[in-house]
Amino acid sequence: MQFMNQTSNAIASRLIQLREKIFAAAHSAQRRADEIRLIAVSKTQSPEAVAALSSAGQKDFGESTTQEALNKIKKFPAQSITWHFIGHLQSNKAKFIPGNFAWLHSLDDLALASKLSRHAQEKSASVNMLIEVNVTRDPKKHGVALDALFNFVEQLLKADHPALDLRGLMTVGPHAAPEKEIRRCFAQLRQLRDACRQRFALPAFSELSMGMSGDYVEAVQEGATMLRIGTAIFGDRDYSK
C-alpha cells in the first residue's frame, strides 16, 4: 500500500489536536464550538488522505480547482462528504459546481452567478453561496470590493436566482500581518455580514468563512462560522504532484 497507515494516523491525530485547539479558542471567546464548521482543505492532497480524515469523522472538505476536485469527488459516496469550492472559479467551470459542491465560497461576479443559477436549475440542484470580499483591498486578491458589496447583493437579489442560496461572506485574511490587523479584517467581515443581513432582510445570511491554518484563532475570536484549514491538518502541500 502506497499510502501508509502511519501517514493516515498522523493526519487523523492532527485533526484531533486541531479540533481541541478550535474548541479552546471558541471557549475563550465564549462561543459554542458546534457553531464553527471545520473545512479540511484537501487541495493537492491524495484521495487516500481524504479517506483517512473521512474515517476519522471529518465531513466537510474544501477544494480550489474543479479538475482535481472532481477526480476526488467521484471516489467517495455522495452522502459521506460535503464538498466546498473555495478557490477562484472561472466562469467556464461553473457547470461543474451544482450537483458536486454544496457550497461555493468565492462568488464575486454577477455573470458567474447567472451561469451557476442556470446550471443548478438544469440539474435540479441548489448551491449555498458565500460572497468573497476583498477586505484588505489587496490587488492580488479576488473578491468584491468593500464599497461595492451592498450594490453587488442588491443586483444578485434583483437577478433572482432561486437555486442559489445566499448564505454569507468569505474572506482571506492579510498575509503575515500583526494579530491586531488580522482581527480588524475579520471583524470588518462580520460587520458587513450583519449589515447585509439587516439591510436586505436575509435571515439565512449568517455564515462567515474566514480563518486558515495561520489565523484561525483570530477568526474564531471574531465570529467565524467556517474555518478553511489545510496545512495544519495535512502538513505542507506538494504542488509538484
Ligand X SMILES: *Cc1c(COP(=O)(O)O)cnc(C)c1O
> Would you tell me which residues interact with ligand X (CB under 6 A)?
41, 43, 64, 86-87, 172, 212-214, 228-232
**From the CB of 219, what's the least distance to ligand X, in Å?**
11
For the record, the C-alpha cell of 169 comes out as 461572506
DSSP class of 154: H
Q: Which is nearer to ligand X, 84 or 163 (CB)?
A: 84
* Pairwise CA distance, residues 127 & 102, whole Å: 5
**From the CB of 62, what's the least distance to ligand X, in Å?**
7
**From the CB of 124, what's the least distance to ligand X, in Å?**
28
**From the CB of 5, what's the least distance to ligand X, in Å?**
24
Q: What's the length of the chain?
A: 241
DSSP 26-59: HHHTT--GGG-EEEEE-TT--HHHHHHHHHTT--
Q: Which is nearer to ligand X, 25 or 232 (CB)?
A: 232
**From the CB of 32, what's the least distance to ligand X, in Å?**
23
* Pairwise CA distance, residues 214 & 173, whole Å: 10
Q: Which is nearer to ligand X, 64 or 136 (CB)?
A: 64
Q: Which is nearer to ligand X, 121 or 213 (CB)?
A: 213
Comparing every residue's Cβ against ligand X, the nearest one is 230
Q: Taking the CB of residue 226, how many other CB atoms lie within 10 A of it? A: 24
As beta bridge partners, residue 131 has 107, 169
Nearest to 106 by CA among 174, 97, 206: 97
Q: Which is nearer to ligand X, 47 or 214 (CB)?
A: 214
* Pairwise CA distance, residues 180 & 20, whole Å: 24
Distance of CA 136 to the CA centre of its chain: 18
**From the CB of 225, what's the least distance to ligand X, in Å?**
15
Beta-carbon contacts of residue 175 (< 8 Å; ≥ 6 apart): none
Q: Which is nearer to ligand X, 89 or 164 (CB)?
A: 89
* Pairwise CA distance, residues 167 & 104, whole Å: 10
Q: Which is nearer to ligand X, 130 or 163 (CB)?
A: 130
**From the CB of 216, what's the least distance to ligand X, in Å?**
8
